[in-house]
Structure 1
Amino acid sequence: MGTVLVVGGANVDVVAQSTARFTNGTSNPGHAYSSAGGVGRNIAANLGHLGVPTTLITAFGNDTFGARLYDETAAASVDLTHSVELEMPSGSYLAMLDADGELVGAVADMAAAESLRVEHVPQDVVASASYVVLDANLSADVLEHVCRTAAATGVPVVIDPVSVPKADRLARVLKAWPVHTITPTRAELVTLSGENDLEAGVAALHSLGVGRVWVREGASGSTLFGQRLSTHVPAIVAEVRNVTGAGDAMAAAYVQALVAGIDDVTAARRGAAAAYLTITSEHTVRPDLSPALIEQVLKEHE
């Protein structure tokens, strides 16, 4: 199985969940916890749990958060040889969840990831990967460098836009280099394409050379749009404990399946199963995630 290179953000998540319906503008009773997080880091850790040889290039700060992030990521069998420690605070993500586990709001400080430079991502590391996964926490220069190198060496690229504000960083990338798969929400798709209509937005990305547009719609499931066919992938009905990290698990299981030679639609269904396993867990990255567990869930919900 080939190595997957992930380049993206790492941060410590601090998550607070109310015990009753969340009320804006006041203090809400609840509980809080912290965990290692970051879109790129989470995808890499999930890939490690799924048995995929994975290299992560990210930036850790020179603080206790950075040490924690490094240790927990390495424990997931992720190669951190090319990650860097910078003289700055590590990334952090503060999220507030309603009593049902749904996100009320969040603030992300990703200055460390944005401080990665082109020279931190060696061309030979990109060229030797079977797939490259990027998140939009990176600067536009790094995103362009990686996509340019991947295109020159025939390495397929999967991109997570991360959020509506950060999706703007992908404009030049999508116009210049081919992308295997991009995984936007509906709101991110509007930012990426400039189109409010779903099908028009997808068509706009296809016209730029994006092979697959996998639109995520939370509890409504997701739809994988290829150049010719589209497939709706229903979300598996779940008793939600925490939505944080679901999309990262989804992307990781999808890429793991692609690396194993599985077709796109089946890969997306495996991604939905991984998301289900994550939101029914108290963990942002479920430590017992495995291909066998994903297969079990798919069989149980056929």
Structure 2
Amino acid sequence: MATVLVVGGANVDVVAQSTGSFTAGTSNPGRTYSSAGGVGRNIAANLGRLAVPTTLIAAFGNDTFGERLYAETAAASVDLTHSVTLNMPSGSYLAMLDGTGELVGAVSDMKAAESLRAEHVPEQVIATAAYVVLDANLSAEVLEHVCRLAAASRVPVVIDPVSVPKADRVARVLKAGPVHTITPTRTELVTLTGEDDLAGGVAALHDLGVGRVWVREGASGSTLFTAEAKTHVAAITADVRNVTGAGDAMAAAYVHALITGHDDVTAAKHGAAAAYLTITSEHTVRPDLSPALIEQVLKEQE
């Protein structure tokens, strides 16, 4: 199986979850825990769990967080040969969840990811990948660099806009080359295109050379738009324990399915199954995630 290159953020997630409903402006009883995180790192780790040869290019800080991130990512069978350690603190992400596991709010410090430079991502590594996956924690310079070189070598690119503020970086680099898939939420789609209307936003991205627009709609599922068709993929009903990492698992399972020969819609269904497996686990990257487990979930849904 050919290698998937992931370029993106790596950070430590610190999660605080209230015991019951969350009340803003005061202290809430609950529990806290930490785990290795970052959109790009999580996608890479999930791909590793799915037995996809995966290379991650990310920036680690020169601190204990960085050591932990490196060790846990390597343990997921991810190649870190081209990742870098910078003389700065590692990235961090603080998430507040309510008693049901839904996100109340979050703050991210991604200066390390934003400090990754174009020269840290070699042309040969891009050119020999089967797919490239990018997250918008990267600077616009690095996003443009990777998209341009991937286009020159005809390597398909999948982009996760990450958040509304960071989606603006993606909007500025979409002309660097065709994009295979982009995975925005509704609000990120507005930022990417300036279009409030869903159909108008999707059409604008298609016009810019994006082949597949996979709009994530949380508990309502997701909708995959190609130039020819629109397919809604329902979310699998779940007893939610933690929503953190669900989108990362979706992206990884989607790419895994594509690289193993499945069509777009089937790949999106694999993504939905992986998201379900993740939100029903306490882990941001589920340790026992596997192709067999995803297939089992899909068979149960038939």
Question: How does the TM-score come out when normalised to structure 1?
Answer: 1.00
* Equivalent residue, structure 2, for 1:237: 237
Show the counterpart of 2:13: 13
Q: Does 1:175 align with 2:170?
A: no
1:67 aligns with 2:67: yes
% identical equivalent positions: 83
Q: Secondary structure at the match of 1:89?
A: coil
Matches of residues 261-276 of structure 1 in structure 2 within 5 Å? 261-276=261-276
TM-score, normalised by the number of residues in structure 2: 1.00
| Pairing 1:187-202 to 2, within 5 Å after superposition | 187-202=187-202
- Indicate the residue corresponding to 1:156 in structure 2: 156
Shift of 1:172: 2.5
How far apart are residue 181 of structure 1 and its match?
0.0
Whole-Å Cα distance in 2 between the matches of residues 255 and 5 of structure 1? Answer: 11
Q: Partner residue of 2:111?
A: 111
Q: Deviations over 1:177-218 (max 9, x none)?
A: 100000000000000011001011000000000000000000
Q: Aligned partner of 2:59: which letter?
A: A
CA RMSD of aligned residues (A): 0.5
Q: CA deviation at 1:31?
A: 0.2
Counterpart of 1:23 in structure 2 is 23
The residue type paired with residue 39 of structure 1 is V
Residue equivalent to 1:43: 43
Q: Structure 1 residue 176: deviation in Å?
A: 3.1
Give how far 1:173 is off: 1.5
Q: 1:157 Cα deviation (Å)?
A: 0.1
**Over residues 50-99 of structure 1, what are the superposed CA-to-partner deviations in whole Å (9 max), with x where a residue is unaligned?**
00000000000000000000000000000000000000000000000000
Counterpart amino acid of 2:208? Answer: L
Distance 1:261 1:199 in 2: 29
Shift of 1:102: 0.2
Q: What pairs with 1:61-140 in structure 2 (closer than 5 Å)?
A: 61-140=61-140
Q: Which stretches of structure 1, 4 residues or longer, exceed 3 Å deviation after superposition? A: none
The reply on whether 1:57 has 2:57 as its aligned counterpart is yes
Provide the aligned length of Structure 1 versus Structure 2: 302
| CA distance in 2 between partners of 1:247 and 1:294 (Å) | 15
Map 1:206-245; keep pairs closer than 5 Å.
206-245=206-245
CA distance in 1, matches of 2:116, 2:33: 28
Name the aligned partner's letter for residue 281 of structure 1.
S
1:204 aligns with 2:191: no
Aligned-partner Cα distance in 2 for 1:176–1:141: 11
Counterpart of 2:99, as a letter, is A
Point out the more displaced range, 66-75 or 173-182: 173-182
Q: How far has the Cα of 1:20 moved from its partner?
A: 1.1
Question: Which one-letter code corresponds to 2:291 in the other structure?
Answer: P
Offset at 1:175? 2.4
- What is the rounded CA distance, in whole Å, between the counterparts of 1:146 and 1:229 in structure 2? 28
Query: Match of 2:283?
Result: 283
CA distance in 1, matches of 2:276, 2:125: 32
Aligned equivalents of 1:171, 1:184: Cα separation in 2: 11
SS at match of 1:196: coil
Counterpart CA distance in 2 for 1:12 and 1:171 is 27
Q: CA deviation at 1:147?
A: 0.3
- Supply the AA of the counterpart residue of 1:276: Y
SS at match of 1:72: helix
Q: In structure 2, what is the Cα distance between the partners aligned to 1:202 and 1:283? A: 32
Query: Which residue number in structure 2 is paired with residue 293 of structure 1?
Result: 293
Partner of 2:172, secondary structure, is: helix
Q: Secondary structure, in 3 states, of the residue corresponding to 1:48?
A: helix
Name the aligned partner's letter for residue 22 of structure 1: F
CA distance in 1, matches of 2:265, 2:272: 11
1:261 is displaced (CA, Å) by: 1.2
